[in-house]
Amino acid sequence: MSEAAHRPQTSTEDWSRLFEERVEALIKLLNAYLEPGQVERVRVACDFAADAHAGVQRRSGEPYVFHPVAVATLLARVQFDYETIMAAILHDVLEDTHHSKTDLAERFGTEIAELVDGVSKLTQINFSSKVEAQAENFRKMFLAMARDIRVIMVKLADRLHNMQTLDALPPPKRRRIARETLEIYAPIAGRLGMNYLRLELEKLGFRHRYPVRFQVLEAARGRLAGHRREIIGQLESRIRDRLLAEGIKARIVGREKHLWGIYKKMRDKHLPFQQVYDVYAV
């Protein structure tokens, strides 16, 4: 009997309860920085999306509407405006349901409809690049097509959540999507200053594009963990003492370099891990 056969089935009532929990978690984030009327509009958009995507499941088996709510939650954590949050919740409605742009404009206003339409148009770009030069052309096209920068923010958050749930897809498709992420989406996030998005996209892209290399490199870095705090602590202390001696006020922050950056340096300079010395940054 397959593993799926042993997996307990989630009832409609359970899915409904989980959906409400995720919506309430989103609303809690929004209440911290939005006006009550704006938060209520977001809640209405959640209900609309739930109805629009009713009966549709993701490959993982969960209702499809969980995805747009997750995308909106990623953006709410960095306090995007309510229009962007609503566009995130509705971002797949035009492509995947019977609702039109006119429907959205009548229900939520022209601005929201335009944002959703912009995300849908970006989704229709077929990335099939084989070389870096073509990837650059796609990045330029991607940026040029979005008249409102918020469209790209929604699309980047959409890609991040898809990467976070990529394990449900077969390996060849995971590798293709991971390659797109590393060549197209992560660089765009970097150019727009969305560093937290870039780092997460790079980490997940690396893990799914080169799973064995990722595991080997992660294990190699893990073997340094015993010295990590001590090394970074010593660097911070020395820099802080010297700056104080010079009368300079500063905040010193130390961190490990991220695996994708380490891997690219190894690949580009043909170095083994042992010869990559800038594993730490201060």
**Residues 24, 59, 135, 127: is their CA dihedral positive or negative?**
negative
Per the rule left: phi > 0, alpha: psi between -120 and 50, beta: everything else, 109 is left
What separation, in Å, do the N-terminal and C-terminal C-alpha atoms of the chain show? Answer: 53
Helix (H) or strand (E) holding 55: none
- In the DSSP assignment, the letter for residue 100 is -
Distance of CA 185 to the CA centre of its chain: 9
Q: How many CA atoms lie within 13 A of 135 on its CB side?
A: 13
State both tokens at 141.
């096209």
Distance of CA 252 to the CA centre of its chain: 28
Distance of CA 107 to the CA centre of its chain: 28
Considering 21, 95, 106, 167, which one is annotated as catalytic? 95
Please state, in angstroms and as integers, the Cα–Cα distance from residue 186 to each residue in 191, 194, 195, 201, 206, following that order. Answer: 9, 9, 9, 6, 11
Active site residue 92: no
Residue 101, SS3 per DSSP: helix
Active site residue 230: no
User: What is the tally of helices (H) and strands (E) in the chain?
Assistant: 16, 2
Considering 40, 96, 103, 111, which one is annotated as catalytic? 96
Residue type at 169?
L
Residue type at 36?
P
Q: State how far the Cα of 234 lies from the Cα of 282, in Å rounded to an integer.
A: 11
- In the DSSP assignment, the letter for residue 1 is -
By annotation, the residues acting in catalysis are: 95-96
